[in-house]
Structure 1
Amino acid sequence: MAPKGKAGTKGKKQIFEENRETLRFYLRIILGASAVYAAVNLVIFYSAASAWTWVSARHRLLPRRGHWAAVRPWPSQLTAASLLQVAFIFSLVVYGTSYRSMNSMAKPSFTDDGSLADGGIDLNMEQGMAEHLKDVILLTAIVQVLSCFSLYVWYFWLLAPGRALYLLWVNILGPWFTAESSPAAQEPNEKKQRRQERRQMKRF
């Protein structure tokens, strides 16, 4: 047991096992949210997003007076179906990018005899890049499921780029601007200090 007040050091085997469980857990979240989204929009809301809009973009053909005539869907149905398609594709892109990044970070390495040499980067490490990727997956899954009731829920996904901009300012841009302004602020202080030293010398 690790000493009280200190974080225990994980071994490479423990990191490997925990990373594998973490990847499985988030893969189940991705598959579950995508399945719920597809099922609700394809089955329950079939009238608003008919199956053909998910499979192909071709028009339906119906016989009319000896020839086949193209029957176009209502504009409202086409717009709703297009938005559902875009949202679904966007979710898949976010899921794929985040999960693939986590998988590459947790990729282990083995020796020639098959023993574990490195368990990869710990995906459960606090304040790590993996934590942000997991947050993106969870946010996307929650928004995706809730968007079955209203597409306006997707506006909540803007929290992700907002969080990214905040971290960019705090960790990179903010310190950079502060470092540039600090030398300019030090010059007046140095001048004041020299004046005080001269005054003290005159007194003596």
Structure 2
Amino acid sequence: MLVVSSATRATHADPAAERLWTGATVITAVRTVASFALCLVGAWQGELWWLVAGLGVYWVGDMADGAWARVFDCETRIGAVVDMLCDRLNCAAFYLGLAWLQHDMILPVAIYLLEFMVVDFYLSLAFLAWPIRSPNYFYEVDERIYRWNWSKPAKAVNSSLFAVLLLVTGWWWLGLVIALGLLALKSVSFKWLLDLGMPMPERAPAPSPGQPA
């Protein structure tokens, strides 16, 4: 199996390499099912530690599938979109379970899910308008949008900070402040993306008279 260094890794997608099942997407599928099941058990049993276990499986699996894809050069646009969808399923399962168990978390959780599952999802799908492999290479399109959304610090803040502080402090108002801050940041990024503009696919030329379509 070929191992690829970051210095030689291609950033643009190869249509010939696009496929659903790779080592990375297998990891994505396994961690998604496992995390979702743990969160369902947590909500059913009314026990927070099951939810935390589900969150941990989600985070570890999300890091593992991305690392596998990069190291073994099996990053695909299909895999990137599948990963985004599975991220949001696991995220929703954890946070809805948390709100089910701790009703004072409903408002911050609702705002965070609006940010992550709607605004951030739109931003993350925008990479499909360019020939790059995933949002991890959006710096080739716009450095500022990439830095505030998909750099390693930005990913850590968006995916980890909110959950960790909610679980450690139990302060709903702190979660609300963070969720509103993330929503504001993503809204600004959305404005930057609109200002940037997304390219429209070119239409195939119409066949000339007498030429087969």
- Using the size of structure 2 for normalisation, the TM-score is 0.39
Structure index of larger Rg:
1
- Using the size of structure 1 for normalisation, the TM-score is 0.40
Bigger share in helix: 2
